[in-house]
Structure 1
Amino acid sequence: MLRGGALAALAVILLAGLLGAPVAAAESVPTTATVLKVVDGDTIDVRDDNRGRLRIRVLGIDTPETKRPGYTVGCGGPEATAFARENLLNQRVAIIYDPGQELHDRWGRTLAYLVKGDGWDYSVEAARAGMAHAYVFGGKPVARYPQIAAAESEARAAGRGLWGPPCRGNTESTKR
């Protein structure tokens, strides 16, 4: 038996197929999940209530590298990962897709925002805390880019996180 959310999502997908609409539009229906693991500041593993385990690449932000093979850890990377752990690990979140973006990246990660039940948007709050840069991939800004960029500007002006010492905005990792 399908749950209400799963049934609604299935109905939207079937209708999209009949109408020839892209599946991305159909999957923009948010689902809920529990955060299982924080890989780094912008990659999060969740257990989706409908689809099981997913690796999410959080939309609209980029955090310093901590796990890129052959590269050094970027300045602020461990702090960005710790911020994600403190705020997301074991939490219930909504997985929200952006209809203007692809559903998956080239590594198969699901592209989505993560939002807590009280409306706390991880992308915006990571940028506000100075733990992430606002990020545009492939020249297509996400729908929430204005809010994320404003939060980054606020952190930058206050010298928070990546914008203060020792990084001062330089978070690049280099090839070993």
Structure 2
Amino acid sequence: MGQNINGKVTAITDGDTFKLLTKDSTQLKIRVANIDCPERKQPFSKRAKQFTSNAIFNKYVNLHILKKDRYGRSIALIRYNDSLDLSEQLIKNGLAWHYRQYSKDSVLQSLEDKARQSKIGLWQEPTVIPPWEWRKNKRK
């Protein structure tokens, strides 16, 4: 895929998923690439959603769509405020995990390591359960 799209963020589903309206009035469901935010009912889920909302809701953002996922969402890198990367900002603020299963991004990994060491955001919790494990346990 690898296409670039600009659009206005019209809804925030959670910390790493939102809806975007393109210039030609197409609505897309977007999943932020390379990260995973806490699931609903997990600690810091509301803060991750609030952070994403404060960062991009009702704003124009630039997407670089990498591919579609099995739910039909466009997985994309998101730039906002001209130069900020949403994946990096969520990780830096301790509101997401670097999704190593799908990403080899060394910058994201180093940001997560720093947030962990500094006990920022979700890393303050005594035990943190990654969202992919949380989802797996919910299915059982």
Q: 1:170 aligns with which of 107, 129, 132?
A: 129
**Aligned counterpart for 1:141 among listed residues 87, 95, 103:** 103
Q: Secondary structure at the match of 1:163?
A: helix
The letter for the 2-side match of 1:122 is: L
Distance 1:59 1:171 in 2: 16
Q: How many equivalent residue pairs?
A: 135
More strand by share: 2
Gaps spanning 5+ residues in structure 2: where?
none
Q: Hey, what does 2:18 align to over in structure 1?
A: 44
Cα distance between partner residues in 1 of 2:116 and 2:32: 21
The CA RMSD measured in Å over matched residues stands at: 1.9
User: Post-superposition shift, 1:79?
Assistant: 1.2
| Residues 18 and 31, structure 2, Cα contact 8 Å, conserved in 1 | yes
* Counterpart mapping for 1:4-43 below 5 A: 24=1, 28-43=2-17
Instruction: With the length of structure 2 as denominator, give the TM-score of the two structures.
Output: 0.86
- Distance in 1 between residues matched to 2:94 and 2:82, nearest whole Å: 21
Ranges in structure 1 where 5+ consecutive residues have no aligned partner: 1-23, 67-72
Q: Contact 1:31/1:49 (CA < 8 Å) preserved in 2? A: no
Q: Which residue of 2 aligns with 1:114?
A: 78
Instruction: Encode CA deviations 1:22-73: one digit per residue, 9 max, x unaligned.
Output: xx2xxx231101111110011111112246110001101001111xxxxxx1
Counterpart secondary structure, 2:52: helix
Distance 1:57 1:29 in 2: 15
CA distance, structure 2, for counterparts of residue 130 and residue 115 of structure 1 = 19
| Residue in 1 that maps onto 2:27 | 53
- The structure that has the greater radius of gyration is 1
Distance 1:117 1:50 in 2: 22
TM value normalised by structure 1: 0.70
| AA at the equivalent of 1:91 | K
